[in-house]
């Protein structure tokens, strides 16, 4: 089932209701949305990810051995601020609001490595990925609280080649982010990331891209 792309907007353990998974398949030069699952625990994520898929995970998949931000976080934060996004858009993996998300990100990436060994996993940051592709920053900043902003972003994602996303009704910010995670992972798999911080194994085993 090569060619499939999945975007996963993770939440921390115990709050799976805030996790969304968007699964796409190639259709010509675009991707077609096949399914969007809102409220996915780890088992459901595994169930949704096809064999051989490209998987964009919106969560830290490693952490700094000395605590605080990784070099990749620092680099992306500078880009985010330069685009007009708040510095807090890119948070340190060990920050109090991020530590449990990092824990789940590491666990899910390990699960996929074991159960989907032919999948290509990449760490993504959906909000900055959209900003780097010229999505309106004011709309991005309103995404969490404004349904109209989310619909605007879904329409924008449709123009980027994700067909079917504009038909999502009452999509949460997590579902929009899952679609944007798929966009970033897809473009990375095509050799066209808007931004990349290459993997540095073994401590940082995944590319971090937008």
Residue extents of the structural domains in the chain: 5-191
Q: Are 199 and 74 in contact (CB under 8 A)?
A: no
How does pLDDT run across 117-147, given as a tens digit for each residue? Answer: 999 999 999 999 999 999 999 999 999 999 9
Q: Round to whole Å and give the CA distance between 23 and 21.
A: 7
How does pLDDT run across 174-188, given as a tens digit for each residue? Answer: 999 999 999 999 999
pLDDT on residue 14: 86
- Assign domain 5-191 one CATH number from 1.10.10, 3.30.420, 3.40.50, 1.10.3470: 3.30.420
For range 75-88, the mean pLDDT: 97
Q: Is 3 left (phi over 0), alpha (psi -120 to 50) or beta?
A: left
């Amino acid at each position: 089932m090569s060619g499939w792309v999945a975007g996963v907007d993770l939440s921390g353990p115990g709050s799976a209701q805030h996790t969304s998974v968007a699964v796409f398949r190639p259709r010509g030069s675009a991707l077609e949305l096949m399914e969007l699952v809102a409220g996915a625990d780890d088992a459901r994520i595994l169930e949704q990810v096809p064999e051989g898929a490209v998987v964009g995970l919106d969560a830290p998949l490693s952490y700094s051995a000395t605590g605080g931000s990784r070099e990749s976080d620092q680099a992306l934060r500078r880009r985010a601020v330069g685009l007009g996004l708040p510095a807090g858009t890119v948070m340190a993996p060990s920050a109090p609001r991020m530590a449990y998300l990092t824990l789940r990100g590491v666990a899910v990436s390990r699960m996929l490595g074991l159960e989907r060994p032919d999948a290509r996993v990449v760490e993504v940051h959906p909000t900055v990925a959209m900003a780097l592709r010229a999505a309106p920053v004011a709309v991005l900043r309103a995404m969490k609280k404004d349904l109209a902003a989310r619909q605007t972003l879904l329409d924008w994602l449709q123009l980027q080649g994700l067909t079917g996303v504009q038909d999502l009704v009452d999509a949460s910010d997590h579902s929009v982010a899952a679609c944007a995670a798929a966009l970033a992972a897809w473009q990375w798999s095509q050799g066209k990331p808007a931004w990349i911080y290459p993997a540095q194994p073994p401590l940082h085993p995944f590319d971090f891209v937008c």
